[in-house]
Amino acid sequence: MNPLTLNQRLATDRFVTDESACHIVVDQELARSTGTAQRLIAVCPAGVYSLAADGSLAVEYAACLVCGACLAVADPGTLTWHYPAGGCGVQFREG
């Protein structure tokens, strides 16, 4: 039996999106001026962060794996992050 790949294991997880609130808020000016934006894009294993066409940092919070890596590399004040509301966010199955 072949073991599942990382992507196959992640695909078994369940995501419940909190449509009423984003649990990640970015201070766009600070993210740009401190270089935090590029670090967030590089570090997030779920690809939550990307550069939008207007140069701002887009946040696809529904894909967040709540690993906390972004908090470890963000300059102070750049991110406001809290866990998704109860019943929302990722529910791990395999990976």
CB of 87 to ligand SF4, least distance (A): 17
Cα 80 from Cα 88, distance rounded (Å)? 18
Main-chain dihedrals φ then ψ at residue 28, nearest 5 degrees: -60, -40
Beta carbon nearer to ligand SF4, 37 or 46: 46
Cα 30 from Cα 78, distance rounded (Å)? 6
Residue type, 34: T
Site for ligand SF4 in 36-75 (CB under 6 A): 43-46, 48, 64-70
- For position 6 contacting ligand SF4 by CB under 6 A, the verdict is no
Q: Which residues bind ligand SF4 (CB under 6 A)?
A: 24, 43-46, 48, 64-70
